[in-house]
A and B are shown apart, each in its own frame.
Chain A
Amino acid sequence: MSNLETKPADGVAAGSQVNPVENRFTNRFSHILADLGKNGIFIALILVVVLFSVLTNGILLRPQNISNLIVQNGYILVLAIGMVMVIIAGHIDLSVGSVAAFVGAVSGVFAVQWGLPWWLSIVLSLLVGALVGVWQGFWIAFVGIPAFIVTLAGMLIFRGLALVVLGNANIGSFPTEYRALGNGFLSNVFGELELDPLTLGVAAIAVIALFVQQFRTRKGRASYGQAVEPIVWFIAKLVLITVAIGFFAYALASYKGIPITLIVLAVLVLVYGIVMNRSVFGRHIYAIGGNLHAAELSGIKTRNVTFWLFVNMGFLAALAGLIFTARLNLAGPKAGDGFELEAISAAFIGGAAVQGGVGTIGGAIIGGLIIGVLNNGMSIMGIGIEWQQAVKGLVLLFAVAFDVYNKRRSGGR
């Protein structure tokens, strides 16, 4: 390849020397700032938790409440995972609340009215959710109708169908195994103890796995000559996360153990995290959201990706519906009301971009947790539902505004 010797070797083309000392300082400083930007959402979560622990005189961090936090928000977090993927691809799904209600009702028919075994009811219900996704995905991907319209229609269609299935009544009294999905715990495997050893053991394994994974990634990056964050910063972050996990595990262990919902969530986060970060499918989602035309002309089967994205969303909406129904032990007409808005908020608070192409599963989960802590904290404080709504709206607005400001500063030229 021709190397024009007159060209400067590196990207900083038009530049006379800047004082190296000053440069190193600004580099380190900007590194920390950039990192704060990247982890801003995580720090925001910590701030919200600290704020509400103070405002609720510590009730927020009581073992029982921490356990509740997970169980009460599980279904939103499940939805947030699918929603952030849809948003990264540049779409939106307004129907998830209605789909959750519809699938909840259908599962009632399977498990209660028809008396099918609990596991078969769950599998069939998830299948129904996936079929709903097939329906919506078909219109969006292959007919080319904007997702906003298709899922707005879906919001009405499946809310209506949920009412049809329920026939003006609630369906209740689900089998115990089914109900475990929403309010079961994995504990007391080793007998009744003050602190559940299983919970602590799982937490310990999780911490070890995290350390191994983080150090391996870091080593891998370094061996390929990529820049890694300063070791102090890296260790500090790990210690912080370890303390958080430890505290969290202690709380769960001293209450009822690991909620089944949490296990489901952990599996989802792990699987979908890998899908979005490492899999070809995940890459294609980012590519489509970043530039649809370029993705198409690079041979990516954009319609197929979009289609499967909505099938997946239908599946996750069904799962959220099951968890919610299991938790209430009741499939009712009002189920899933407003879920879509909370899931969408979670994705955006978690750093997803409205134009698509940007967002992470981890971000959406943290975004969902922030909403969860707000809900929970304000409820404990006895703040009415009307103010809760207003506060959540403001948080969404400020979170996105902060993100926009951050990007403008870092991209500002």
Chain B
Amino acid sequence: MTDKVDAPLNILEMRGITKTFPGVKALQDVTIEVGRGQVHAICGENGAGKSTLMKVLSGVYPFGTYEGDIVFENKTVEFKDIRDSEAEGIVIIHQELALSPYLSIAENIFLNNEQRGGLGLIDWNKTNAEAAKLLARVGLRENPTTKIMDIGVGKQQLVEIAKALSKRVKLLILDEPTAALNDEDSDHLLNLILHLKEQGITAIIISHKLNEIKKVADAVTVIRDGKTIETIKKSDVTEERIIKDMVGRDLENRYPDHTPHIGDEILRVEDWTAHHPQDVSRVVVDNVNINVRRGEIVGIAGLMGAGRTEFAMSLFGRSYGSKISGRVFKNGVEIKTRTVSEAIANGLAYATEDRKTYGLNLIDDIKRNISMAALKKLEKLGLVNDGQEWTVANEYRKSMNIKSPTVLAKTGKLSGGNQQKVVLSKWIYSDPDVLILDEPTRGIDVGAKYEIYSIINKLAAEGKGVIVISSELPELLGICDRIYALSEGRITGELPIEEASPEALLKLMTMEKAR
């Protein structure tokens, strides 16, 4: 099943890796060979075992807790912990960055690897000078003494890589490095990976984004259900083949069919303006006018910082911003959305782009998360009907295909796709007329994305208005009936789906204010 990758010499071979958790085989006889000086992509749905494999490799799961061999640089290695693997030059950069926000860039780079001078004290001149050299290598123009909290996520990612370089990395593992980055930062990062490759640094990149895999990877290994499906050479890589391997079937259409039945206008927002919460003079949402009709899926396209989320959250109970003005009409009647509860009562729902921080109570179960926004429906004399709540949650578990044996499972233990289904269940249960879905498929694998799109279609078919905010243009083009483009807080254009193309949208999305 596995195609041999023709590489002169493999820097890493993992042979027959099997990792068992109580009751579950997370990895089963996984074999992967990574050629020296190559960029090797690992693909797979959430829960397929990618992260587990990387944890085995980096020593998070120490030698002895798994079966199989790891051969690095032609010798069998037995890592007891992450320090062991780092000593050999294997560095893993996790999806959630491990930087300390209040420390400087230089301090972070040399954290636990401090540049010492006499008496064992830290030599700050050396620290900052060395850091500056590393920053130059990753193409980050920042002062080494700048605090991490003062730079964006894209730059933080580069700091992580600089930190890895400081450890004389031979094999760099990046877990979904561009998940939180905008297109520009993503491009920069991918180019950096290619640049580092020229310097002889091997990289393993775990990613969902098939276009970027095609761009950087020399080989792709697909993992499904804890098993290696195949390794594909660069010349043979096609998106279709990867998707087929990942989900185990052909996904001819990544977007489910959707025949719109569009009715009357259900929501209209007029002259919506919001200012920055701290910097009150800064206009973040500038005179936005949009409308949504029954059964319509409306997209909002915009680059990072265009004010997409800010618009949605300021509309949804003034959860963002200051000095908010504008009018909202539902079915032609003006409504108020001054607080979240008022917005919900008026039939609005907002599913956040950041489920873990803003969407879910991760330490509580599926059931209570689903009922959280609509407890009133289960309430009698101030008391919640437990049994009814359980029934409701169970119905959603089945209808939304939330993969958990019971609704009593904690949401923190679910995969991204299933967490998103819980969030959607919560909002659907609150009986909204208009749903605003902010990046509904961020960090979700291909199969689950298809399910989320089907849910969105179903909501529209029921006559609800759906607003989808997304930074992935293909997604908007695949599911929407009409798309607004947002730039610098202003609506710069509106295209029906027939006229929308990536080029046309990008032009609108980058349109700058006349100054």
> Please, how many residues of chain B have a CB less than 8 angstroms from a CB on the other chain?
69
Flag if B379 contacts A11 (CB, 8 Å): no
- The complex places the Cα of A77 from the Cα of B361 at a distance, in Å, of 29
* In the assembled complex, B376 has its CB within 8 A of some CB on chain A: yes
Query: B403 contacts A7, CB within 8 Å?
Result: yes
Q: Is A189 an interface residue (CB 8 A)?
A: no
Chain B residues with CB below 8 A from A220, complex form? 386-387
The binding surface of chain B is classed by DSSP as mixed
Q: Tell whether, in the assembled complex, residue B361 and residue A291 are in contact, meaning their CB atoms are under 8 Å apart.
A: yes
Q: Determine whether A13 belongs to the interface, using a CB cutoff of 8 Å to chain B.
A: yes
Q: Does A15 reach chain B (CB closer than 8 Å)? A: yes
Instruction: State the CA gap A195–B25 with chains docked (Å).
Output: 62
Given contacts A12-B24, A15-B25, contact A280 B375 (CB under 8 A): yes
22 A-B contact pairs sorted by A residue (CB < 8 Å): A1-B401, A1-B451, A1-B454, A6-B249, A10-B404, A14-B24, A14-B27, A16-B25, A224-B391, A280-B384, A283-B372, A283-B375, A286-B361, A287-B372, A290-B362, A291-B360, A291-B363, A294-B359, A298-B344, A298-B372, A357-B363, A358-B363
**Contact pattern, B 433-474, Cβ under 8 Å of A = 1, otherwise 0:** 000000000000001001100110010000000000000000
C-alpha spacing A297/B341, complex, angstroms: 9
Indicate if B98 sits at the interface (CB-CB under 8 A).
no
**Binary interface encoding of chain B residues 20-55 relative to chain A, with 1 for a CB under 8 A from any of its CBs, else 0:** 011111111000000000000000000111000000
Q: B110 in the interface, Cβ–Cβ < 8 Å? A: no
Cβ-based interface call for B64 (8 A): no
Partner of B361 from the list A10, A274, A290 (CB cut-off 8 Å) is: A290
Known: A13-B403, A15-B23, A287-B372. A295 touches B361 (CB 8 A): yes
CB pair B406–A227 under 8 Å, yes or no, is: yes
Q: Which of A279, A283, A299, A411 contacts B341 (CB 8 A)?
A: A299
A1 partner, pick from B25, B226, B379, B458, beta carbons under 8 A: B458
Docked complex Cα distance between A298 and B427 (Å): 9
Other CB < 8 Å A-B pairs besides A3-B401, A280-B376, A411-B413, 20 of them?
A4-B401, A4-B450, A7-B401, A8-B225, A10-B404, A11-B404, A15-B24, A223-B387, A224-B387, A278-B386, A280-B382, A281-B382, A286-B361, A294-B372, A297-B319, A299-B339, A299-B341, A299-B345, A357-B363, A413-B21
Is B71 part of the contact surface with A, judged by Cβ < 8 Å? no
Chain A stretch 59-103: residues in CB contact (< 8 A) with chain B: none
Q: How far is the CB of A235 from chain B (nearest CB, A)?
A: 23
How far is it, in angstroms, between the C-alpha of A278 and the C-alpha of B319 when the chains are bound? 28
**Residues B405 and A10 in contact, CB atoms below 8 Å apart:** yes
A103 to chain B, nearest CB (A): 27
Q: Which residue of B lies closest to A23 (CB)?
A: B23
Answer yes or no: B390 CB below 8 A from chain A CBs.
Answer: yes
In the complex, identify which listed stretch (B4-12, B121-129, B350-358) lies at the interface while the others stay far away.
B350-358
Interface contact A2-B363, CB-CB below 8 Å: no
Residues B383 and A279 in contact, CB atoms below 8 Å apart? yes
Check if A297 sits within 8 Å of B383, measured CB to CB.
no
With a CB–CB cut-off of 8 A, which chain A residues contact B47? 13-14
Asked if A389 is at the interface (CB within 8 A of a chain B CB), the reply is no
**Cα distance, A91 to B304, chains bound together (Å):** 35
**Which one of B248, B341, B344, B358 has the greatest number of beta carbons of chain A within 10 Å?**
B358
The closest CB in chain A to the CB of B458 belongs to A1
Instruction: Say if the beta carbon of A168 comes within 8 Å of chain B.
Output: no
- Encode contact with A along B404-420: 1 for CB under 8 Å, 0 otherwise: 11101100010000000
Within 8 A of B (CB), among A254-295: 274, 278-281, 283-284, 286-287, 290-291, 293-295
Q: Which residues of A contact B340 (CB under 8 A)?
A: 296-300
The one of B361, B379, B387 in contact with A287, judged by C-beta atoms closer than 8 angstroms, is: B361
Contact A280 B363 (CB under 8 A): no
Q: How far is the CA of A126 from the CA of B202 in the complex (A)?
A: 70
Contacts of A39 in B (CB 8 A): none
A31 CB within 8 Å of chain B = no
Q: Contact check, A4 vs B225: say whether CB atoms are below 8 A apart.
A: no
How many chain A residues touch the partner (CB < 8 A)?
48
Chain B's closest residue to A1 (CB) is B399
Residues in A neighbouring B361, C-beta threshold 8 A: 286-287, 290-291, 294-295, 357
B103 at interface, CB cutoff 8 A: no
Q: Are B25 and A294 in contact (CB under 8 A)?
A: no
Task: Assess the B352–A297 pair: CB atoms within 8 A.
Answer: yes
Which chain A residues lie closer than 8 Å to B27 at the CB level?
14
Indicate if A301 sits at the interface (CB-CB under 8 A).
yes
**Pairwise interchain contact A297-B450, C-beta atoms closer than 8 A:** no
Q: Are A280 and B379 in contact (CB under 8 A)?
A: yes
Residue numbers of A with Cβ under 8 A of B are: 1-4, 6-8, 10-16, 18, 23, 26, 30, 220, 223-227, 274, 278-281, 283-284, 286-287, 290-291, 293-301, 357-358, 411, 413
Q: How far is the CB of A18 from chain B (nearest CB, A)?
A: 6
Across-interface contacts of A30 in B (CB, < 8 A): 22
In this assembly, does B288 line the interface, its C-beta being within 8 Å of a C-beta of chain A?
no
The answer to whether A293 touches B225, judged by C-beta atoms less than 8 angstroms apart, is: no
Task: Tell whether A11 pairs with B226 under 8 Å between CB atoms, given A1-B399, A2-B450, A298-B373.
Answer: no
Within the assembled complex, what's the spacing in Å between the Cα atoms of A6 and B344?
A: 37
**Of listed A227, A274, A299, residue having the most chain B CB within 10 A:** A299
Find out whether the CB atom of B23 lies under 8 angstroms from the CB atom of A293: no
B368 touches A14 (CB 8 A): no
Give the distance to chain B from A347, nearest Cβ to Cβ, in Å: 17
Q: For the complex, what is the distance from the CA of A290 to the CA of B412, rounded to whole Å?
A: 11
Query: 5 nearest interchain CB pairs?
Result: A290-B361, A14-B226, A299-B341, A2-B454, A298-B373
* Residue among B23, B341, B454 with the highest chain A CB neighbour number at 10 A: B23
Which residue of chain A lies nearest to B357 when distances are taken between CB atoms in the complex? A293
* Smallest beta-carbon distance A299→chain B, Å: 4
Instruction: List residues of chain B with CB within 8 A of the CB of A225.
Output: 394
Given the interface contacts A11-B409, A14-B226, A279-B384, does A4 sit within 8 Å of B451 by beta carbon? yes
Q: Which of A6, A16, A227, A297 contacts B359 (CB 8 A)?
A: A297
* A2 smallest CB distance to B (angstroms): 4
Asked whether B247 lies within 8 Å of A226 as measured between CB atoms, the reply is no
Contact between chains at B344 and A4 (CB < 8 Å): no
The CA of A402 and the CA of B256, in the complex, are separated in Å by 50
Report the Cα distance A47→B451, complex, angstroms: 52
Residues of A within 8 A of B450 (CB): 2, 4
CA distance A9 to B400 in the complex (A): 12
Residues of B with C-beta under 8 A to A287: 361, 364, 368, 372
Whether the Cβ atoms of A14 and B382 lie closer than 8 Å is no
CB distance from A148 to the nearest CB of B (A): 20
Checking A3, A6, A279 against B382 with a beta-carbon cut-off of 8 angstroms, the contacting residue is A279
B317 within 8 A of A: yes
Residue B426 at the chain A interface, CB threshold 8 Å: yes
Q: Which residues of A contact B409 (CB under 8 A)?
A: 11
B14 interfacial by beta-carbon distance below 8 Å? no
Instruction: Give the contacting residue for B384; candidates A6, A15, A283, A413; CB below 8 A.
Output: A283
Q: Given contacts A283-B368, A283-B384, is CB(A14)–CB(B25) below 8 Å?
A: yes
- Complex: A357 Cα to B410 Cα, angstroms: 13
The interface residues of chain B lying within 8 Å CB-to-CB of A283 are: 368, 371-372, 375, 384
A37 CB to closest chain B CB, in angstroms?
Answer: 15
Q: Check if B106 is an interface residue, CB within 8 A of chain A.
A: no
Would you call B447 and A4 a contact (CB within 8 A)?
yes
Which residues on the A side are within 8 Å of B359 (C-beta)?
294, 297
Q: How far is the CB of B365 from chain A (nearest CB, A)?
A: 10
In the complex, B303 has a CB within 8 A of chain A: no
Chain B residues closer than 8 Å to A12, beta-carbon distance = 23-24, 405
| Cα–Cα, bound, A26→B382 (Å) | 40
For B403, the closest partner residue in chain A by CB is A11
Shortest beta-carbon distance from B184 to chain A in Å: 28
Shortest beta-carbon distance from B402 to chain A in Å: 9
The listed residue with most A CB atoms (<10 A of its CB), out of B361, B391, B404, is: B361
Q: How far is the CA of A284 from the CA of B340 in the complex (A)?
A: 14
Q: A294-B359, A299-B344 in contact; A1/B23 too (CB < 8 A)?
A: no
With A14-B49, A14-B225, A15-B25 given, is the CB distance from A295 to B379 under 8 Å? no
Check if B266 is an interface residue, CB within 8 A of chain A: no
Interface residue from A224, A286, A295, A299 paired with B317 (Cβ < 8 Å): A299
